[in-house]
Every structure is written in structure tokens, then in C-alpha cells.
Structure 1
Amino acid sequence: MRIGLQLGYWGAAPPDGAGKLVVEAERAGFDGVFAAESWGSDAFTPLAWWGASTSRVRLGTSVAQLSARSPASCAMHALTLDHLSGGRCVLGLGVSGPQVVEGWYGAPFGKPLARTREYVSIVRQVLAREQPVRNDGPHYPLPATGPGTLGLGKPLRPITHPLRADLPIWLGAEGPRNVAQTAEIADGWIAVYFSPRVAPLYEQWLDDGFARPGARRDRAEFEVAATCPVVVTDDPVAEKAKVKPSLALYIGGMGAAKMNFHADLFRRMGYPEAVEEITAHFLAGRRERAVAAVPDELVDDVSIIGDREQVRAGVRAWREAGVDTLLVGCRDVAQLRAVADAVLGAQDDALPSG
């Protein structure tokens, strides 16, 4: 089991002490550092800035939004970071949702699976640098065609030679078709919310993708990275309560009333009534009641919270459920060290003696 420090995206201001956390994560044995974006801070700049103080950890976007930049621009960001870090970039991508894509980026959200497939194909062409980049698909035509174009577009190869043609591309995905396509075309899956209890369902979706003709990887070569609150504590009740506001936000507010992929995921986990109650309260502005409606069992499903031995047991359960990397947010250095001790210790416990 590997650990990635999840920096997430910023609130009203940059987080205090993030640079120190990044350095300490490398010292403590974390495998990677990851940054996200929503509609404020971007995912690449924090990795370049704070990642400059590291030499070993992978630097990953978790996730960069497709609509934030064109495929060619995204490939430029990734190849640049990969060169600067000496081959440590992981490009995590996601479609976001219609509220952000159409409300913030001013782009249509339709056909997210087809858009993802085209996007990844173009990024891979740029990184391969075998020939000028072309795309005949309707979402990202290269050269551009249609109204407003001059017909003078020229297919190009990147001036800068990418360091790695096989720079890993991970996709954030939640639904069955999205996860299956991820297994088909990507190098890894970022599970925004994961529960070992329903792992057989995820494995079925992944297997559907691996079985497709031309699938890029098999399961042994593919990385499953799951976002997971991991807290070592003697007061699990208090710590679980701290997880509920974020869950209520994603279930009730990070999507439209009739299209919220996070809410759909928790319905599949077996919480349809709780999802409806949380959503109703959140959309009506009753946020405290939305938080209170998050069941304790749901928190237990998607997090690992308890004393050192309970956390170690939880880590082993997530690993047995198919998770290769835990993406963990840490408030301070003390929590980071405790998480490293528990997660890496659980791996040591599993090694045969002698």
C-alpha cells in the first residue's frame, strides 16, 4: 500500500504550512503528493512550487479538470512538470460536472465519456511526439475547423521533447461506464470515494474495461488510488464528525439537483434515503441539518479512523479490496507522521517473517 498526500484545492486563501507538509511527507515515506482544482486554485502550480523542495515523491494532479485547458495545453503542463521533476509527474484528469463546466468554463458538458476518450488520445499523441498531432473527433478537432476558423491551422509536434512518452494518466471516475473506460484507456483510476464493502462492484466495472480489445493495461499493471480520510486518534467519534461536512457538501452541493455524480455513487453504496435527505437540506440552505443527516455508517464506509491498530486493520482491508494507493489529507506534521506509521506499518505487518 502506497500513500499520497492529498493537498486538495484551496479555499479562500492558500493553506498554511503546506510546503512543510510536502517536505515531511517525502521524509516520512509517502509515495506522492497530489493537488486538485475546482474553481479557484489550479492543480499544477502548487506541485511545481512545493514539489521543488522534493526529490523522490511523485507529483500528481488529482484531478485536473478537462475543461480547464485544451488537451494540447494540458499535455504541455504535464511534460513541463515531468521534465522539472525528473520524471515524477502523474497526470490525473476528470470531467468535473455540468455546473462547473458550463457555469465556470463556459463549455458544454455533454458526451463526457467521448470527450474524455478524445482528450486522452490527444495528450498521448503529444507525449509520444511521433508525428504532428491530429484529431478528427467532434470535441477537440485538430486542426480546428468550422465557423470562425481561417482554415490555416497546421498540425504540430511539441517543440520540447517530452521526457516520458508513457507518463502515467489516471482518470477520476465514479459511474460504471466511466470506470470501465478508465480501465480501458488509462494507467490508473482515482476513486473519489471508495468503500471496500462494495469492492466487487468496482472490480466488475474495471474488468469490463480490461476485457475490451486494445485495453492499455491489465489489472496487474493498473493503479487504483482512492481518496480516504485516515486519522489515528483516541477519539474516533469527534474525528468522524469532522468528515461529515465534506461528505454533505459533495452529496448535496457538488452537482445539480438532478445530476450529481457523487450522490449517485452513494446511492449505489446503499444510501438512497440518506442521499435524498442530505440533498434536500443542502439545497434548501439547511447545511447543519444536511451534515447531521450523514449516517455514521457512511463515514465508516469511506474512511479509516481509529487508534493505531484499528487504522492498520483498516488499511489492510482496503488493500485486500484492491486499493494500491491511499490519497490522504493531513492537517499537520503530527497527523502526517501518525498516518505514515500506521499505513506503512500495516504493510510491514503483512510481510512474511524470515
Structure 2
Amino acid sequence: MTERTVHLPVAAQSSLDDFVELGKRAEALGYDTAWLPETWGRDAVTILATLATETNDIGLGTSILPVYSRSAALLGQTAATLQEASDGRFRLGLGPSGPAVVENWHGVDFGNPLKRTREYTEVVQQVLSGEEVDYDGDVVDVSGFRLRCDPPDPVPGVDVAAMGPKATELAGRFADGWHALMFTEDGFEERYADLRRGAELGGRDPDDLRVSLVVQCCALDDGDRARELAAQHVAFYIGGMGTYYRDALARQGFEETAHAVHDAWQDRDREWATELVADELVDELAAVGTPEEARDRLADFAALDGVDDVSIGTPRGADRPEVVETLEHLAPE
């Protein structure tokens, strides 16, 4: 059975307590896991550590921690510590993020993202094993590192967030799972084939990998408002977050629209960019509208072959009551 999880909304929270309350609400509603990306603002590690002490059963995980903002050894330590804090409920998701975040905000050259992601994944897995780590990679060099505490038991899974074919294949070869986001149904199926190919190249069983599909969701009694929020969200990611999302949609058959949205956003014509998304992409990418419409569309994504959990992501422009309403309407039955 496909799990139902929550992608906590980083943009809608005014305090750390708000995150805690949302995590507790998600647990009470029966969601299996609360995922948190790290973008800007509050760091994901502190939030998840706080949630670990304030919840009892819900799984906790990073949908993505960038591999450029921390060392590989530190990411391993962090995963081990969060696993201990949560009593075995943690799962680590990592990935390269993109040049707009890494270079502009962290001041680090965005070089060799695939190689860096692979080497980070391997080093983190070695750290979590409790064995001494001696790793001489092209990007990562670790010598004589070992945890000064017992290794986590169970060992948390290490997932990779990926949108492109090579990155998804890498997740299949080296990681324990894949975080997929901003996909149409057809686009997901194409990338899922890359994941399976990667697993086979690595001599692994593809069915052993956990696949989490993040779906933008907004379920409101005012269905028009829900669609508007989703269109604004998609337009922001295509137009304002570098080229990764634009290129991912272009690969899925929306090249003309993706470039038009990106150009309009860069020209500061945000209204036109949003209108382009509303006309072309919302129904393909999201589960939005009235509660019944959103539930029916979410079921389509949950039924895709290979999906282990659908993660409810909410639009960045949604206010707190709209986030809560969506979580309540789409909660597991």
C-alpha cells in the first residue's frame, strides 16, 4: 500500500513552534512521515531534532540536505544523531540543490554535482556503518574518521533527490531511495526506468529502493483559490530557482512553456508567468482544486508503478489555515 507523507512547508511558518505544531498535526492525522527540505531560513536539522522530541510515531526525514553546505562526514554524524534523537524514525535525503542556492547563497562553486552526490552518499553510508572511513575520491577525501559513539541501529536510509536521468540513475546505483519532485505521470515513469537501470548496474534489486514522489497539493473548498496558489508555486520554481526545474519540465515535453515561464519570471512579469502555468501545467503536475478533485488526482500519482509514498507538498503562497485544510482533506483514510 502506498504511504501518505507530508512535505513540511518551509515558506508558511512564522516560528519553530509552527513547524512543531504542523508535525504533531500530521502525526495525529495518520501521515507516515514528515519530510523537510533545507532551503533558506531555518535549518532543517534543528527543526527535525525538535520534532523528534515532540512526536512519538511519525517518521522524520530530510527531503534534501545540500551536499555543498556541509562536509560528508558531518552529514553522516548528523544522520546518526537524528536517528538517535528520533528513536529510529529518521531517514536522510540529500542532493546537489542548484547553482542559484549553492553559488549565490553559500559561495561554493557548483562543480561536479553528480560526482559529489555519489561520493557523499558513499561516505555517509560508511560513516553510518560505524567502521573507520578512509575514502579517496575525486571530490571527497576522508582519512581515519570513525564515529565516537555507537553506530545507529537501525541504520537510517540514505536517499538522493533527483530530477534528471543521470542523477536518477545514480540514486538507483548508490542510494537507498529516490526523492522525485515536479513530475508529470509520464515524466515520472520515464525517470523511474532510469532508477531501475541504475539499480541493475549496481547489482541491486530495484524493488528494495524506496521511492518518494512529492506532489504539489492544495485542497480547498475554494477550488479556484487552490489552483491559483499551485500555479504561483510552479511558476516560482520554474522562473526563480535557476534552470533545474525549467530543464526538468522541458525533458517532459513542455519545453516551450517552461522557457516562456522562465523568461517571463526573469522579466518580472510574474502574473503572465503564472497564467502560463495555469493554462498548461497545473493539471499535469499537481493535485489541486476542491477536496474531491485533489483526492482523485492524488490517487493517480499514488497508483504509479514504483511509488512507495506520495508526499503532500503545499504551495509556498498558502497561508497556515490553507496548509492545515489541505492536510486534513488529504489525510490517510
Q: Equivalent residue for 1:32?
A: 33
Report the structure number with the largest CA radius of gyration.
1
Give the deviation of 1:39 after TM superposition: 3.2
Whether contact under 8 Å (1:235, 1:306) holds in the other structure is yes
Amino acid at match of 1:50: L
Task: Give the drift of 1:13.
Answer: 4.6
CA 1:46–1:115: 2 relative to 1, 3 Å: same
Instruction: Assess if the C-alpha contact under 8 Å between 2:218 and 2:230 holds in 1.
Output: no
Q: Deviations over 1:15-68 (max 9, x none)?
A: 773322211211111001111112332111111113321111111111111111
Q: Deviations over 1:128-153 (max 9, x none)?
A: 112x211111211123xxxxxxxxxx
Taking a change above 3 Å as real, the CA distance of residues 213 and 269 of structure 1, as seen in their structure-2 partners, is: closer
> Aligned with 2:92: secondary structure?
strand
Counterpart CA distance in 1 for 2:105 and 2:28 is: 38
1:219 aligned onto 2:206:
yes
Q: Would you say how many aligned residue pairs link Structure 1 and Structure 2?
A: 324
Matches within 5 A, 1:272-311: 272-311=255-294
From 151, 170, 185, the equivalent of 1:162 is 151
Q: Which residue is 1:230 aligned to?
A: 217
Counterpart of 1:182 (choices 164, 168, 171) is 171
Question: Alpha carbons of 1:99 and 1:334: their partners in 2 closer, same or farther (altered >3 Å)?
Answer: closer
Partner of 1:41: 42
Q: Aligned AA for 2:168? A: V
Contact 1:267–1:275 (Cα < 8 Å) also in 2 = yes
Does the alignment pair 1:337 with 2:324?
A: no
- Tell me the distance in 2 between the aligned counterparts of 1:55 and 1:16: 17
Partner of 1:225: helix, strand, or coil?
A: strand
CA drift of 1:295 comes to: 3.7
Q: Determine the C-alpha separation between the residues in 1 that align with 2:253 and 2:93.
A: 28
Residues 274 and 295 in structure 1, CA contact (< 8 A), matched pair in contact too: no
Partners of 1:67 and 1:101 within 8 A in 2:
yes
Q: Distance in 2 between matches of 1:123 and 1:18?
A: 27
Which residue of the partner structure matches residue 308 of structure 2? 324
Query: How do 1:64-103 residues align onto structure 2 when only pairs under 5 Å count?
Result: 64-103=65-104
- Decide which structure has greater helix share: 2
Which residue of structure 2 aligns with residue 348 of structure 1?
none
> Which deviates more from structure 2 when the two are superposed, residues 273-282 or residues 5-14?
5-14
Q: Distance in 1 between matches of 2:325 and 2:100?
A: 37
Structure 1 length as normaliser, TM-score? Answer: 0.85
Give how far 1:185 is off. 1.0
Match of 2:181 among 185, 188, 192: 192
Structure 1 residue ranges, 4+ long, deviating more than 4 angstroms after superposition: 10-13
Q: State which drifts further: 306-315 or 240-249.
A: 306-315
Distance 1:65 1:30 in 2: 25
Higher strand share: 2
Cα separation, partners in 2 of 1:133 and 1:226, compared to 1, 3 Å: same
Indicate if the aligned counterparts of 2:227 and 2:289 stay in contact, CA closer than 8 A: no
Q: What is the CA–CA distance in structure 2 between the aligned matches of 1:229 and 1:213, rounded to whole Å?
A: 31
Bigger shift: residues 105-114 or 3-12: 3-12
Instruction: Give secondary structure in 2 for the equivalent of 1:228.
Output: strand
Query: Quick one: which amino acid aligns to residue 223 of structure 1?
Result: R
Kept after mapping to 1: 8 A contact 2:79/2:90? yes
Letter in 2 for 1:303: A
CA, structure 1 residues 301+230, in 2 after alignment: closer, same or farther (shift >3 Å)? same
Measured after TM superposition, the shift of residue 69 of structure 1 is 0.5
Distance 2:202 2:218 in 1: 41
User: Cα distance 1:101–1:233, how it changes in 2: closer, same or farther (>3 A)?
Assistant: closer
Distance change in 2, residues 1:291/1:231 (3 Å): closer
Cα distance in 2, alignment partners of residues 32 and 61 from structure 1: 10
RMSD: 2.0
